[in-house]
Amino acid sequence: MGIPILKLGECLLISIQSELDDKTAMEFQEDLLSKIHETSARGVVIDITSIDFIDSFIAKILGDVVSMSKLMGARVVVTGIQPAVAITLIELGITFEGVLSAMDLESGLEKLKQELGE
């Protein structure tokens, strides 16, 4: 079962509700990039509140998804980053340069709308 990607105006909303395994993470990456292309989305909010910890592969995929989304012209906001996830990302050298973050999905969507001038 894949991760649902919802379209709201010019934005895509993703709320990851469970820990990711390698296969699901790879499918998510492909699905999101395809959806950005299909919808010409200008913004993406990725909520990872439910993820308590990540391994190095999932961290790399998450970093790649953010970078690839930006390359495709979509602004990215990552929400709900747990302390252990933040520590792992930094220890692995994965930075979300130029990416906004927020505590929750609602705040993230609001930041994205401001960024897009909506």
86 is in which domain, residue-wise? Answer: 3-114
Residue 27 belongs to domain with CATH number: 3.30.750.24
Q: How far is CA 29 from the centre of its chain?
A: 10
pTM of the model: 0.92
Identify the segments of the chain with pLDDT beneath 70.
1
Q: Please count the other Cβ atoms lying within 10 Å of the Cβ belonging to residue 85.
A: 20
Q: How many domains does the chain have?
A: 1
Q: Which residues pair with 5 in a beta bridge?
A: 14
60-70 pLDDT, tens digit per residue, is: 999 999 999 99
CA dihedral 10, 21, 88, 78 (to 10 degrees): 10
What the block records as the tokens of 95 is 């930075």
